[in-house]
Structure 1
Amino acid sequence: MKTLYFSSTGNCLYVAKCLGGECLSIPKLIKQGIYEIKDDVVGIVFPVYGLCIPPYIEEFLQQLKVECNYLFAIATYGCFAGSVCNELNNITLANGRKFDYVNSIQMAENCITFADMEKQEGDNKKQQGVIDQIMGDIVEKKRYVKRNSLFSKLITRDHKKKYEFPTGIGITEEVTVNEACTGCGTCSRLCPMGNIHIENGRPLFSKNCISCGACIQNCPKNAIHHNREKSSARYRNPHIEIGELLIS
């Protein structure tokens, strides 16, 4: 079994590790130009952005070729997932493969412009119960697509029209770096797009950002801030070390 994941604060990596098998970082696969995966069971775990599948992930799936007997997708979300499961069910991979199983898991809310990170729980019994249930479904190779309500579909459709997280400038113009920065380069090594470079001991942001927030949430000195953040508190899944999230 191979589980492909994208994770900026560790939630998706934690889920991927719980599900088992070989965990493969999607940013690393893209960096290496690997778009063909073979195994008996293959899965995708990624976060919901703005009630939608992140364009970064959707573009990856459109290029991905998977040969397997069972293909699953799990979307993690904080407050509301919209109709992401329905969106996933409509996706066909590059070799014509569709998902056999689609589900979602509510995790801690990690959007710093939406919620105060200090109030977020890293895990709870309900969350772990859902993960355990999904693990059982995958072991049994259950065919299932989580249903989304008409309201969810309408909300996601509306959000896609005015999507907040396109690849490009992203959040770079809303980010500041304060005097606590030591130029350690952790932010650069976390960025899935290679969008951050260290020059003269300071991070410089280019214009190829997907607004994942990994640089803000994981800065060892809490030196990177968003001008609309709810607090200066930061979140990373308590089961994941920062080294596990590094891309380079």
Structure 2
Amino acid sequence: MKILYFSGTGNSLYVSKKIGGELLSIPQLIKNNQYKIVDDLVGIICPVYCMTMPNLVKEYLTQVEINCDYLFVIMTYGSSHFNSLSDVTQVLNKKGLRINYSNYVLMVDNFIPSYDIKEQKELHDNKSIALEVNKIKEDIFLRKNYQPSINKVRDKVMELVYKIIYKVFLRFAVNLYFDYESCNQCKVCYNICPKGNIELKDNIPFFNDNCAYCLACIQNCPKGAIHDKREKNSEHFRNPNVKLSELIQSNNQN
């Protein structure tokens, strides 16, 4: 079994690890120009970003060639999943791929501009999440066929909203900045960015203009030296079952 995954703060990587198999990071697959995946069982695991899949994931799925007997897709989300699986299904169906099993996993919403991360941590029980993932894992290993029910009318409306909001959001709403007095030039942000969007000048980090807004940099900065202008407090989040080194290995573009 091969699992293609993308994770900025560890939630989707945690789910991938729990399900098992050979884990293949989508940012690394893109970096190494690997667009052919062959296995009996193939999975795709990623978060919901602004009512859909991350652009980075969509770009890869539109190009990848997948050859398998059983295909599953799992999306992690916080406040709402917005029927985001329908977007993934649409992309894969255009390539002649049929999803055998799909599902969502509710986890900590770590989108700093909208949520208080401390409150989010208190809302979610790690044991309950683990039980849900174990159930999904059992379904997959039994090769069950399942897709959550969807509202097609709502999907169409949300698709139109997404086309407007998501593009505007990425263009105008990126509000990350460095607190250089706190920065110790450890290069974690530089190494963890899945888009290679952080540049170093004399070991001092700067943002370029290709941010995926995955928040891997701000959430994983060991000194709390990266901020969003709309953050509720200084609380940050990385899935407690995932190490910083694992996320760097997954996302590093250098």
Please classify the TM superposition score into its range, dividing by the shorter chain length.
over 0.9
CA RMSD of aligned residues (A): 2.0
Please report how far the alpha carbon of residue 227 of structure 1 lies from its aligned counterpart in structure 2 after TM superposition. Answer: 0.3
Q: Which residue of 2 aligns with 1:176?
A: 177
Identify, as 1 or 2, the structure richer in helix: 2
Tell me, which stretches of 5 or more residues in structure 2 are unaligned? none
Please report how far the alpha carbon of residue 120 of structure 1 lies from its aligned counterpart in structure 2 after TM superposition. Answer: 2.4
Please report how far the alpha carbon of residue 202 of structure 1 lies from its aligned counterpart in structure 2 after TM superposition. Answer: 1.6
Distance 1:167 1:36 in 2: 32
Cα pair 1:5 1:23 within 8 Å, conserved: yes
The correspondence of residues 96-115 of structure 1 with structure 2, limited to 5 A, is 96-115=96-115
Cα pair 1:101 1:142 within 8 Å, conserved: yes
Distance 2:205 2:94 in 1: 36
Q: 1:16 to 1:165 in 2, by over 3 A?
A: farther
Distance 1:166 1:105 in 2: 27
Task: Identify which of 225, 229, 232 aligns with 1:230.
Answer: 232
Cα pair 1:8 1:212 within 8 Å, conserved: yes
Are positions 1:47 and 2:44 aligned together?
Answer: no
Query: Which sits farther off after the overlay, 61-70 or 196-205?
Result: 196-205
Please report how far the alpha carbon of residue 144 of structure 1 lies from its aligned counterpart in structure 2 after TM superposition. Answer: 1.3
Q: Which residue of 2 aligns with 1:82?
A: 82
Q: Which residue of 1 aligns with 2:155?
A: 153
Please report how far the alpha carbon of residue 190 of structure 1 lies from its aligned counterpart in structure 2 after TM superposition. Answer: 0.6
Distance 2:161 2:168 in 1: 12
Cα pair 1:75 1:104 within 8 Å, conserved: yes
Distance 1:146 1:35 in 2: 28
Please report how far the alpha carbon of residue 49 of structure 1 lies from its aligned counterpart in structure 2 after TM superposition. Answer: 0.6
Q: 1:192 to 1:139 in 2, by over 3 A?
A: same
Q: Does the residue aligned with 2:165 lie in a helix, a strand or coil?
A: coil
Tell me, which stretches of 5 or more residues in structure 1 are unaligned? none
Distance 1:170 1:26 in 2: 26
Q: 1:168 to 1:83 in 2, by over 3 A?
A: closer
Are positions 1:68 and 2:74 aligned together?
Answer: no
Please report how far the alpha carbon of residue 155 of structure 1 lies from its aligned counterpart in structure 2 after TM superposition. Answer: 5.5
Task: Identify which of 140, 143, 158 aligns with 2:142.
Answer: 140
Moved over 6 A (4+): none
Are positions 1:25 and 2:6 aligned together?
Answer: no
Distance 2:194 2:169 in 1: 12
Q: Which amino acid aligns with 1:206?
A: N
Query: Which sits farther off after the overlay, 10-19 or 136-145?
Result: 136-145
Query: Which sits farther off after the overlay, 158-167 or 217-226?
Result: 158-167
Q: Which amino acid aligns with 2:53?
A: I
Distance 2:187 2:92 in 1: 37
Please report how far the alpha carbon of residue 105 of structure 1 lies from its aligned counterpart in structure 2 after TM superposition. Answer: 0.7
Cα pair 1:195 1:206 within 8 Å, conserved: yes
Q: 1:35 to 1:93 in 2, by over 3 A?
A: farther
Give the TM-score, by structure 1 length. Answer: 0.92
